[in-house]
Structure 1
Amino acid sequence: MSDDIYDPDFVAGVFDRCSGAYRNWSAVASFGIIRSWRRACINGLNLPAETTAIGVDLMAGTGEAWPHLFARFPLVQNITAIDISPGMHRQAIDRLHKDREDRITHLCSNMLETNLPSDSAEFAISTFGLKTFNAQQHAVFAAQLKRILKPGAPFSLIEATDPIGWSFRPLYRFYLDGVLPQVERFFLNGAQDFTMIGAYTRNFGTGRTVLLALRSVGLSVDVKYFVGGSAVRFSGFKPK
């Protein structure tokens, strides 16, 4: 697979086209497990329950992590939602609850080039956006994450992986590479955008390039795998 799939315009196009169906499709395709993974991402944030922190959601998509975030940290003051896809932002805005819309700031931007102020975020989360970067981009991402976070601020990032060594990996790969493309072909007008998930997760592997990138910039990182290694969470903080 060509590295062209990591070109920002290509990524934005993929998620623009599938934004309308993304929320329901991701839930059905993962048999609902993706919801527990989003919750696990939020659980990886080392913050007091009563925090009034200001944070960022990187590659925020349609904002599926926000209900979990506000359930655990109801007093969070503001989230800046960064995503490269205008379609994802539109879907997120359409789904915002009226009692929290004043606490979400939307930024349609490439995370790798964002000019958010340094040392400004008191926490950072990311759910299922890391696979859309290659190894070189992971290095840029890690540097940006470190720059944006305040000293001592926590982060939690979760991503689907290619679970090498898992006994069910052949079935898992067959499902991603064989079944889902056919479902999309017949039930989603054949756009073949969701099938990119299979390519992205295969290239992402176990997420080692993310771990190395985060540690190389000096961030403190813990790693936890879920469901036989089919998802990974990187959680930690920026040292003071």
Structure 2
Amino acid sequence: MAEDIYDPQFVKGVFDRCSDRYIAFSTWCSLGFTERWRRQCVEALPAPEAPAATGYDLMAGTGEVWPHLLKRYPAIAGIVAVDISTGMHQRAMTRLHAHRAHKIAFIEDDVLSSTLPDGGADFVISTFGLKTFNQTQHRKLAALIARCLKPGGSFSLIEASDPKGWWLRPLYLFHLKMVLPMIERFLLKGAQDFAMIGTYSTNFGDASAFARMLEAEGLQVSYRKFFYGCATGVCGRKPTGRMLPPS
């Protein structure tokens, strides 16, 4: 019987095994675009209304979005990072962000099973975690974001996507499906875990369906494309019942 690649324990295994090389692999093999897209995800996040805002980084991985988030909004009081992978969080704290640890708390859990409190977050952000969920899980995630945000709370999520309609799409897909597995096989000698990241990305498609799920939960949503659709994202707010200034 084939394994369910969206089962939480399968996902945890993939990212635990590749955590020690994830930062270098994702940066070099995306030609630096992952870092650019993280910054753009933060730029798309509507400004939190609370000066000392607290919020969630969902599917936080190695926490590479935190420097961008804290640079743009230095008054942020706290970030709760939620991720299922022990290895990814340890990598984040020991290699990148030990000096930011006073602002970071961590929940190691499947985000869809976490008992995050209702209406407690000024913001929700997530970079490159959407691909690890199937459609049913995306609906649960949309409901979770709507439930966790305070009225007026903001959100921004981004994911590598399938750039349908772009004339260089065949080359992009060749890079994901052929080049990345070859790099892993011959240079990293891994267990095809990085190749799974390419599989998740191509299966994902784009964030347009997720945008509609967020709208169905009553959120104000903007859908965006980055670099010809090689990444797509959603951002917006939870309504308050009053008009909010543009961000």
User: Given the two structures, how large is their TM-score scaled by the length of structure 2?
Assistant: 0.93
The Cα offsets for residues 113-154 of structure 1, whole Å up to 9 and x where unpaired, read as 110111001001000000000000000000011111111100
Q: How far, CA to CA, are the matches of 1:150 and 1:50 in structure 2?
A: 10
The within-5 A match list for 1:131-146 is 131-146=131-146
* Matched-pair contact (CA < 8 Å) for 2:48–2:153: no
Give ranges in structure 2 of 5+ residues lacking alignment: 241-247
Give the whole-Å Cα distance in 1 for the aligned partners of 2:176 and 2:8. Answer: 23
Q: Which residue of 1 aligns with 2:71?
A: 71
Contact 2:58 2:111 in 1 (8 A): yes
| Deviation per residue, 1:82-139 (Å, 9 max, x gap) | 0011111111111354442111001001111110111001001000000000000000
Structure 1 counterpart of 2:20, which letter? G
Counterpart in the other structure of 1:234: 234
Partner in structure 1 of residue 21 of structure 2: 21
The alignment yields a C-alpha RMSD, in angstroms, of 1.5
SS in 2 for 1:150: strand
Q: Distance in 2 between matches of 1:13 and 1:107?
A: 17
Q: Any conservation in 1 of the 2:59–2:82 contact (CA below 8 Å)?
A: yes
Are residues 47 and 138 of structure 1, via their aligned partners in 2, closer, same or farther at CA, if it must alter by over 3 Å? same
Where in structure 2 are the equivalents of 1:98-117 lying within 5 Å?
98-117=98-117
CA distance in 1, matches of 2:56, 2:102: 15
- 1:90 maps to a residue whose letter is Q
- Deviation, 1:50, is 8.8
SS at match of 2:171: helix
SS in 1 for 2:5: helix
Shift of 1:228: 0.9
Secondary structure, counterpart of 1:19 in structure 2: helix
Q: Distance in 2 between matches of 1:188 and 1:160?
A: 22
Unaligned runs of 5+ in 1: none
CA distance, structure 2, for counterparts of residue 189 and residue 98 of structure 1? 29
Question: Retained in 2: the 8 A contact 1:224–1:234?
Answer: yes
Instruction: Spell out, residue by residue over 1:192-239, the C-alpha distance to the aligned partner (whole angstroms, 9 max, x if none).
Output: 101112211111112233112111111111011011100011000111
Query: TM-score, normalised on structure 1?
Result: 0.96
Output the amino acid matched with 1:93.
Answer: M
Partner of 2:84: 84
- 2 CA distance for matches of 1:224 and 1:208? 9
Please list, as runs of the form range in 1=range in 2, the aligned pairs for 1:1-240 lying within 5 A after superposition: 4-47=4-47, 51-240=51-240
8 Å CA contact 1:84–1:109 kept in 2: the answer is yes
Contact 2:6 2:134 in 1 (8 A): yes
Distance 2:162 2:96 in 1: 32
Secondary structure in structure 1 of the residue aligned to 2:136: helix
Q: Is the 8 A contact 1:224 1:233 kept in 2?
A: yes
Structure 1 residue 187: Cα displacement = 1.2
CA distance in 2, matches of 1:135, 1:233: 16
Counterparts of 1:26 and 1:203 in 2: how far apart (Å)?
Answer: 18
Secondary structure of the structure 2 residue equivalent to 1:106: strand
The aligned amino acid for 2:60 is A
